[in-house]
Homo-oligomer: A and B are copies of this chain.
Amino acid sequence: MQKLLIIALAIGLVGSVTVDRAAAQQTPSPADLREKARAFSQPVPTELPADLGPAGTPAQVELGKFLYFDPRLSLSNQISCNSCHNIATGGVDNQVVSVGHQWAFDDRNAPTTLNAVFNLAQFWDGHSPDLVAQAHDPIADAREMAFNDQDVIRTITSIPQYVEMFDKAFPGDGDVTNLQVQEAIAYFEMTLLTPNSPYDRFLEGDDAALGPDALAGLALFVEKGCSGCHDGIGLGGTKYRKFGVVADPGETYRPVADLGRFDVTGDEADKYVYKVPLLRNIALTAPYFHTGSAWSLEEAVKVMGEAQLGEDLSEGDVAKIVAFLDTLTGDQPSIVLPSLPPSTATTPRPQP
């Protein structure tokens, strides 16, 4: 082989060798790409990693599943966690913003509950430190489930089967509390992992898991700098960044009135700062951004290139990056719908 190369150089084929090298640089070999990919990301595991645990007990997870699907955690008895974080549709509702109590509209796009445990904090502005804290707000929010803490407890304790389930899930903990409700929901959500995406199989050594476009897209994802923010297991969720690092993406994508994390910290530097969203299952969770203002991944990638990286990505590059993003869809959770215990004479009636 070395001899052939020497001959090639000798007979003036250097030019074509250089071209080959350039092509090789455009799309590195799968092995090279895997090394780069592993440097910024890890596969979605099938079980909750120990450092994010402890996982819930089976009784806690089962209770959490019941609560996640129970519309009686809303004032109208019409809206459950699953209404806006629908496990049938990637853990989201595919709405610009969610539709809640009496058809009220939320202010930001609903993030997915799938793999949400990999977020450093919850909500776009990170105002809840974890899934347990998160589970409180949508129940209480007047535009969402509109149910106050007292009525949640009145509802649960009016249903003997729920009281029994709480006893089993939180033995010796005494009366049912709102914190237990939140913990159970969080324990269920911590099971909503989506392993085994083509990208994960690639990370684990399967060269054939990604097609040529997806490989080229992954190379661009690294080279252009996307992976600088979209990293970790979730390819996102590990940090906060200003939407518009390089250029203001404009009113459609980033309306001036929504100040993002500034409202949480009061820090001037946090204006228009949001948590970097997970890219896992991103092909299922349109529309995109905290505004739900981009309906296609092509549009979202283009805007990100301009606003975050100062890159005017070509149509071809956008298509390749999207081909890569399409490989981030993992096995969706297999959830058997619970059979919810019936209400009793003392259960608060729906107020729709």
Q: Which residues of A contact B (CB under 8 A)?
A: 69-71, 76-78, 86-90, 93-96, 99, 102-103, 105, 283-284, 286, 295-296, 332, 334-340, 342-343, 345, 349-350, 352
> In the complex, which residues of chain B have a beta carbon less than 8 angstroms from the beta carbon of A339?
88, 332
A99 and B352 contact, CB distance less than 8 A: yes
Identify A338's interface contact among B88, B96, B340, B342, CB under 8 A.
Answer: B88
Residue of B nearest to A86 (CB): B71
* 6 tightest A-B CB contacts, nearest first: A332-B339, A103-B103, A335-B337, A88-B340, A99-B352, A88-B337
Roughly how many angstroms separate A105 CA and B76 CA in the complex, as a whole number? 12
A286 with B94: CB separation less than 8 A: no
Residue of B nearest to A345 (CB): B296
Taken together as a complex, chains A and B put the C-alpha atoms of A96 and B78 apart, in Å, by: 12
Q: Is the CB of A99 within 8 A of B87?
A: no
B286, A342: Cβ atoms closer than 8 Å: yes
Question: Which B residues are in CB contact (< 8 Å) with A78?
Answer: 93, 95, 99
Q: How far is the CA of A210 from the CA of B122 in the complex (A)?
A: 50
A350 engages B95 (CB within 8 Å): yes
Q: Could you give 8 example pairs across A and B, Cβ below 8 Å?
A: A69-B88, A71-B93, A87-B337, A94-B350, A95-B350, A283-B342, A296-B345, A336-B337
Question: Which residues of the other chain, B, contact A86 by a CB distance below 8 angstroms?
Answer: 71
Task: For the A-B complex with A78-B99, A94-B343 known, give 11 more contacts whose Cβ atoms are closer than 8 Å.
Answer: A69-B88, A71-B89, A78-B95, A88-B340, A94-B350, A102-B103, A103-B352, A286-B342, A296-B345, A335-B336, A335-B337
